[in-house]
Chain A
Amino acid sequence: MSLETFLIIAHGQTLFSLLGFLLTLRAKPSQSVVRIMGLLFLFSFLAQIGSLALGKPGFDIANPNYSASLYGILEVPLLSWLYFSAVGQKNYGRVFASIAVAFVLFATYNLVFIQKESINSYSLIVGSIITILYSLFYFYWLLRELPTLHLHKFPMFWINSGWIIFSSGNLFLFAFTSYLVNVLNNNLLYYWSMFNFLAIIKSSMIVYGIWLDRQNTKSHS
Chain B
Amino acid sequence: MVGSSEYQVALMIAIGTVGMFLLAVAIILFMVFYQKKMLQEQYKRQQMELEHQHKMMEAALESQEQERRRLAGELHDSIGAMLSTIRVGITTLARQASDPQPFEQSKEMLDDTISSVRRISRDLMPSTLEKFGFVQAVKELCERFHATSLLPIHCVEDGEIKDFEKGRELLLFRVVQELLNNALKHSRATEITVSVQGGEQLIVSVEDDGIGFNPEAIRNSKENGKGLGLFNMENRTRLLHASLDFDTQRTKGSKITLTVPYEQV
Contacts and interface: CB of A to CB of B under 8 A. Distances in A.
A53 interface: no
A176 B34 CA distance: 34
Contacts, number: 44
A185 B27 CA distance: 35
Contacts of A190: 9
A168 B8 contact: no
Interface in B3-17: 5, 8-9, 12-13, 15-16
A139 B28 CA distance: 12
A185 B4 CA distance: 12
Nearest to A161: B27
Contacts of A152: 31
Nearest to A185: B5
A135 B98 CA distance: 106
Given A165-B23, A194-B16, A184 B9 contact: yes
B24 A165 contact: yes
> Which of B12, B15, B19, B35 is most buried by chain A, counting CB atoms within 10 A of its CB?
B12
A149 B31 CA distance: 11
A151 B31 contact: yes
A152 B34 CA distance: 11
B11 to A, nearest CB: 10
Contacts of B23: 164-165, 168
Contact of A149 (B5, B19, B33, B38): B38
Nearest to B41: A146
Given A146-B41, A169-B19, A183 B30 contact: no
A184 B12 CA distance: 11
B162 interface: no
A169 B20 contact: yes
A105 interface: no
B5 A183 contact: yes
Contacts of A194: 13, 16
Contact of B19 (A143, A146, A168, A183): A168
B219 interface: no
Given A164-B23, A168-B23, A146 B37 contact: yes
Contacts of B15: 172
Contacts of A173: 16
A152 B13 CA distance: 29
A189 B91 CA distance: 121
Interface in B212-251: none
Counting contact residues on chain B (CB < 8 A from A), the size range is 20 to 34
Interface in A162-216: 164-165, 168-169, 172-173, 176, 180, 183-185, 190, 194
A52 B157 CA distance: 96
A142 to B, nearest CB: 6
Given A165-B23, A168-B23, A185-B5, A180 B30 contact: no
Contacts of B38: 146, 149, 151
A183 B5 CA distance: 6
A216 B247 CA distance: 50
A149 B45 CA distance: 14
Contacts of A139: 30
A139 B23 CA distance: 13
Contact of B34 (A151, A164, A180): A151
Contacts of B12: 176, 180, 183
A190 B10 CA distance: 11
B31 A172 contact: no
A139 B30 CA distance: 8
Contacts of A184: 5, 9
B33 A143 contact: yes
A102 B23 CA distance: 28
Nearest to B34: A151
Interface of A: 139, 142-143, 146, 149, 151-152, 161, 164-165, 168-169, 172-173, 176, 180, 183-185, 190, 194
13 contacts: A143-B33, A146-B41, A151-B31, A151-B38, A152-B31, A165-B23, A168-B19, A168-B23, A169-B16, A172-B19, A173-B16, A180-B12, A183-B12
Given A172-B16, A184-B9, 17 more contacts: A139-B30, A143-B33, A149-B38, A152-B31, A164-B23, A164-B27, A165-B24, A168-B19, A168-B20, A169-B16, A169-B20, A172-B15, A176-B12, A183-B8, A183-B9, A190-B9, A194-B13
Question: What 8 pairs across the A-B complex have the smallest Cβ distances?
Answer: A183-B8, A151-B34, A183-B5, A161-B27, A146-B38, A151-B31, A168-B23, A146-B41
